[in-house]
């Protein structure tokens, strides 16, 4: 192997659109339409939790601790890497992201981070089977926004 198994343009473009779709749900604090993007038994972890063994556990802890408390979540597509298995059954997305956090007094701060997401394709459908989203070093862990959840 001479280099990483980079995804072809079609697969890369699909995941760029996927990232844009998911980030729009995060910005809207809209859980219900985001859930079908992931396997029900996803293994996820991030800033607030160790490995969570299901989509519902991830939603009820990580999503509830982050989405309503932050704003402006977006992936940085020009710095995103998409890798794919030769047989097209698995893909890995490595992407930095940006968001806005809120101090206790309501003032805003930049809240950047990075994500690694693993996807499995079955019957023509890509589902997230693992995610790790975490803040960059030195970024305050706590954010005190209070936005309502649109749908669960």
pLDDT by residue (tens digit) across 81-131? 999 999 999 999 999 999 999 999 999 999 999 999 999 999 999 999 999
**Could you say which DSSP state residue 137 is in?**
T
- What CATH number is associated with residue 55? 3.10.450.50
Q: Does the residue 104 lie in any domain?
A: yes
Q: Does the residue 83 lie in any domain?
A: yes
Q: Does the residue 121 lie in any domain?
A: yes
Cα dist. 141→12, 17, 46, 93, 137 in Å?
31, 28, 11, 24, 10
Q: How confident is the model at residue 45 (pLDDT cuts 50, 70, 90)?
A: confident
Q: Does the residue 76 lie in any domain?
A: yes
Domain extent at residue 113: 9-135
- The pTM assigned to this predicted structure is 0.95
Q: pLDDT averaged over the chain?
A: 95
Q: Does the residue 150 lie in any domain?
A: no
Query: How many domains are there within the chain?
Result: 1
- pLDDT of amino acid 25: 98
Q: Does the residue 147 lie in any domain?
A: no
Lowest mean pLDDT of 41-50, 64-73, 109-118, 135-144, name the range.
Answer: 41-50
Q: Does the residue 151 lie in any domain?
A: no
List for the chain the helix, strand, coil content (%; round to 5).
30, 40, 30
Q: Does the residue 143 lie in any domain?
A: no
């Amino acid at each position: 192997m001479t280099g990483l198994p980079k995804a072809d343009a079609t697969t890369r473009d699909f995941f760029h659109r996927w990232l844009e779709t998911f980030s729009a749900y995060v910005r809207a604090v809209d859980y219900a339409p985001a859930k079908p993007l992931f396997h029900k038994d996803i293994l996820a972890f991030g800033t607030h939790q160790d490995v969570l063994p299901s989509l519902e556990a991830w939603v009820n802890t990580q999503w509830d601790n982050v989405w309503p408390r932050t704003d402006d979540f977006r992936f940085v597509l020009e710095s995103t890497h998409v890798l794919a298995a030769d047989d097209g059954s698995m893909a890995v997305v490595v992407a930095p992201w940006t968001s806005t956090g809120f101090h206790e007094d309501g003032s805003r701060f930049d809240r950047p981070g990075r994500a690694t997401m693993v996807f499995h394709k079955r019957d023509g459908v890509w589902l997230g089977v693992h995610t790790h989203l975490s803040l960059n070093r030195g970024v305050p862990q706590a954010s005190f926004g209070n936005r309502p959840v649109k749908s669960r």
